[in-house]
Chains A and B, each alone.
Chain A
Amino acid sequence: MIVVERVETATEDARARLRALVVRYVLTSTALLLVGGALGGVLRQSQADLVVVSPALWYELMTAHGLATFVGWAAFCLMGLSFWVLQECGFEVRGWGYRWAVISWWTMVIGVTGVVITVLAQHFAGSWVFLYPLPFSSTGQWTELTTALFSLSVIFVGLSIFAYCFGVLAVVTGPDLGAAPGAGFANRLGCALGLGYLRPRRFSTERPLPFAAIPLTVIAIDMIIATLPLAVLLLLMIVQAIQPSVTVDPLLAKSMLWWFGHPVVYLLLFPAVALYYHLVPRLAGRDLVAGHVIAVAWSIAVVANVIIGAHHMYTDFPENFQQSVNTFSQPLTYAVTIPSAISLFSLAFTMYRSAYDWSQPAARFLAVALVSWLIAGLQGVGLATIQFDAVAHNTLWIVGHFHNMALIHIGMVIFGAIYAFLPALTGRDWYSRRLADWHLVLTVVGGYGSVVPWMWQGLEGAPRRFAVLPGEYLSASQIAMPFVLLIVVGQGVFVWNLARTLGLGWLVAAVGPRPAEDEPERPGEALAALVAACGTALALPALWHSPFLWAPLGLLLGYVAVALGARRQGAWSMLSATLLLVVGLALQL
């Protein structure tokens, strides 16, 4: 009896820790959305000729915007939510699964801090794809040391992705999979890929595999394969910054970049699909309507996803061997749309004539997201077509397409999941459902209103990544501005709703002193308080020089102090670093 109770408390503790970690993922990534989104707004209004920023600053902000929103917000948030989905569908996230999730959080935060410092304080403006050899040919904008630090920061982001993959694989191949006793890793991996739906004897599990586990397993496998060459390229870039005689062939570097650059898009899409597979059936009160063909579709995806990066190079070497590569890339890219098509079918029929609970904010967000998936996904099929890409490549049409996909499809899934999960994660009900509706309407109307002008401009031949667009595109840029404002207001509504939901009490509990009866004070907390003091000290120079260098370091140390146990001191340190950043910026202006 006592033993059982202890096991239960241990499990409860583990769950509480996971809940706290997932909330941390959600809040950090939401903060990065606000920062990255604000940068995007600055970029767009400058192109619309309102408050024009210098081209050098514009390209810096562009670099930071891409990394902050794509990686720091969408990917980061989905990584955290992935673990919660697994937890909710019967895979306890504990042991190494949990440890990898913690490591993934820390390495991402360190990486993003490094990116912020190298971009905003040291003026790195190589764009978020940092197409080699541009980082070493800055025309005086940044130094090789900056390139080395930037590369190191992106390596941390890469480490975070690895940790995520290891964590997901540890969980899905763990004891909760229910594989046959003594089954080897390969067999358990096959089970987690859903192969049991095709060959039930060979890949048998005690319970049917939850469908949500399949896309997560697929992306965990693919991102390990995809990230390795990029990590090598980044290491070589650090070496070159120190020893300039070491260089990389630009074609090899570009191939390594896109080998990673395509699958990383699916680091957003596939976890979003897992969220759909998990939440739509729950809202519809019915299991996912999926035949065995869904396992076929995902088997295609796990292979095709990592070999189609070349479709980002359709316009390379027009008369040369690239054309044969291209000819293979188009059908393979078409193939990777099959899981999306099958998923849309399954999700549509899961909803069809069900008691879909529209009263939930998550239900509305996911319904809108499904429509956006179709709209943006069809664009993707067009773009996979060489004939169309030849015209659309590197125009603003592309920018419209991926904002359609990332913001008004995947973003809606992320928000939907946050609306669905937060009550279970924090034990608090949402402050207001009406505000959630406003968040939805403002983001969708603002989103499409800002995406459509981009696509229009792109079809007219407007190039992307131009700080100053040729004059003929100005009016469309200006038409988009009111819609951009709607997106901004929408996120403001979301943050307000989130803050009121969590409330001051939650904040105090999160950063306040530990309840004394629980644990005695640990010697580590004195050290942590010291770290917090160092954080404040590090942030002080922000008043005189490079606020974006010193304040983020102060913030990071402040958070380290919180994590080490000096929660109150750490929180003060983070607060002072933020204030010093604002004051430092104001003094410089």
Chain B
Amino acid sequence: MVVFNLIYVGLCAIGLVIFAVIFRSTRASQRERPLDIAGWKRRENVWFAVVCVALAGALAATIVKTPWNAAAQADRQVIDVVAAQYGFTFSDATIEAGRQVEFRLTANDVNHAFAIYDPDGTFVTQAQMMPGWPSSLRVTLDEPGTYAVRCFEYCGVGHHQMVTTFEVVP
């Protein structure tokens, strides 16, 4: 996340500088030198290539880091979570720290989503819960303590009340 934010702020800063240069170049003194508009048009092809390469690089760097692809471990704990307007029901609300847990997510009525926050309140992960389409979310929670769960898909006028907690014990 920090890396994303730094890259973003960096690119914005470069962009602002470029725009400042362009905006300042509209002063009369800048127009005296001859213009090479045909050359600029040709350079658009170079820019096209630069953009494609940059996007391909970003893709290569990030696509392998897609979360949620944790392989199921043999000794994982399985917890059933059922969402319904407006609450979650856990088959077991105590989880062992450091051991993979598989949340089996189902929704009874409408779409909900399952978002986990660690004991410091930092966002950990999320997944959608769709009626008729059960899914599972595998994650390993190392830090013991009380984890918060919030519904992350708008599900009606009680949506903001759809919060709960579970315990991770050492």
- Please report whether the interface of chain B is mostly helix, strand, loop or mixed according to DSSP: mixed
Query: Are B135 and A316 closer than 8 Å at their CB atoms?
Result: yes
Establish whether residues B157 and A139, one from each chain, have CB atoms under 8 Å apart when the complex forms.
Answer: yes
Which residues in B have some Cβ–Cβ distance to A below 8 Å? 1, 4-5, 8, 11-12, 15-16, 18-19, 22-23, 25-26, 28, 30-31, 33, 35, 37, 40-42, 44-45, 47-48, 51-52, 55, 58-59, 62-63, 65-69, 85-86, 109-111, 113, 115, 117, 121-123, 125-128, 130-133, 135-138, 150-160, 163
Provide the A260-288 mask, 1 if CB < 8 A to any CB of B, else 0: 00000000000000000000000010100
Q: Are A387 and B132 in contact (CB under 8 A)?
A: no
Of A251, A326, A346, A381, the residue contacting B66 (CB under 8 A) is A326
Is B44 touching A346 in the complex (CB atoms < 8 A)? yes
Instruction: Judge if A318 is at the interface, Cβ distance under 8 Å.
Output: yes
Closest A residue to B12 by CB, please name it: A375
A313-B41 CB under 8 A given contacts A134-B110, A342-B47, A386-B62: no
By the criterion CB–CB under 8 Å, are A378 and B128 in contact?
no
Binding-face segment, A101-109, A389-397, A519-527, A542-550: A389-397
Q: Which of B44, B66, B125, B153 contacts A290 (CB 8 A)?
A: B44
A508 CB-CB contact with B under 8 Å? no
Structural contact, A289 and B122, CB atoms closer than 8 A: no
**Which stretch, A91-99, A232-240, A366-374, A531-539, touches the partner chain B?**
A366-374
Contacts A319-B138, A381-B58, A387-B62 given; indicate if A352 touches B47 (C-beta within 8 A).
no
Residue of B nearest to A318 (CB): B68
User: Nearest Cβ distance between residue A342 and chain B, in whole angstroms?
Assistant: 6
In the complex, what residues of B have CB within 8 A of residue A367's CB? 19, 23
Chain B residue numbers with a CB within 8 Å of A161 are none
Complex: how many Å from CA A249 to CA B25? 57
Chain B residue contacts of A315, Cβ below 8 A: 113, 126-128, 152
Smallest CB separation, A329 vs chain B (Å): 11
Q: Which residue of A lies closest to B33 (CB)?
A: A353
Please name all residues of chain A whose beta carbon is closer than 8 Å to the beta carbon of B31 when the two chains form the complex. 353-355
Cα–Cα distance between A388 and B137 once the two chains are bound (Å): 17
Q: Of all chain A residues, which has the CB nearest B50? A: A341
Q: Does A501 contact B (CB under 8 A)?
A: no
User: A463 contacts B152, CB within 8 Å?
Assistant: yes
Do A137 and B85 touch (CB < 8 A)?
Answer: yes
User: In whole Å, how far is A23's beta carbon from the nearest beta carbon of chain B?
Assistant: 31
Q: Are the C-beta atoms of B160 and A467 separated by less than 8 Å?
A: yes
Known A-B contacts A316-B135, A382-B8, A393-B152; the reply to A349 vs B26 at CB < 8 A is no
A352 touches B58 (CB 8 A): no
Residue contact B19 to A370, C-beta cutoff 8 Å: yes
Are A351 and B22 neighbours in the complex by a CB distance under 8 Å? yes
Measured in the bound complex, the distance between the Cα atoms of B44 and A374 in whole Å is 17
B residues within 8 A CB of A467? 157, 159-160
In this complex, what residue of A is CB-closest to B156? A139
A334's contact among B22, B37, B55, by CB below 8 Å, is which? B55
| Complex: A334 Cα to B51 Cα, angstroms | 10
24 A-B pairs with C-beta separation under 8 A: A55-B160, A133-B109, A133-B131, A137-B85, A139-B157, A249-B132, A251-B130, A286-B37, A293-B45, A317-B135, A323-B66, A326-B66, A334-B59, A338-B55, A342-B51, A346-B44, A352-B40, A379-B8, A386-B66, A386-B67, A390-B67, A390-B126, A393-B126, A394-B115
Looking at the assembled complex, report how far the CB atom of B83 sits from the nearest CB atom of chain A, in whole angstroms: 12
Q: Beyond the given A139-B85, A467-B157, could you list 9 further A-B residue pairs with CB under 8 A, ordered by the A residue number?
A: A131-B110, A251-B132, A334-B55, A341-B47, A349-B40, A351-B22, A378-B15, A388-B4, A391-B123
Interface size class, chain A: 35 or more
B25 cross-chain contacts in A, Cβ below 8 A: 351-353
- Indicate the member of B5, B22, B30, B69 with the most A CB atoms within 10 Å: B22
Measured CB to CB, the closest approach of chain A to B15, in angstroms, equals 4
Q: Mark A332-374, 1 if CB is under 8 A from B, else 0.
A: 0011011001100110110111111010000000010011001
Q: Which of B65, B123, B130 contacts A316 (CB 8 A)?
A: B130
The answer to whether A351 touches B26, judged by C-beta atoms less than 8 angstroms apart, is yes
A385 within 8 A of B: yes
Q: Shortest Cβ distance from A246 into chain B, in angstroms? A: 15
C-alpha spacing A394/B12, complex, angstroms: 24
Contacts A323-B68, A348-B18: A289 and B41 contacting too (C-beta < 8 A)?
yes
Partner of A291, one of B26, B41, B122, B133: B41
The smallest beta-carbon distance between B53 and chain A, in angstroms, is 12
Q: Which 4 A-B pairs have the closest CB atoms?
A: A318-B68, A461-B123, A466-B160, A291-B44
Q: Is the CB of A375 within 8 A of B15?
A: yes
Interface pair A461/B128, CB less than 8 Å apart: no
A300 vs B64: C-alpha distance when bound (angstroms) = 25
Q: Is the CB of B128 within 8 A of A313?
A: yes
Complex-state Cα separation, A331 to B52, whole angstroms: 11
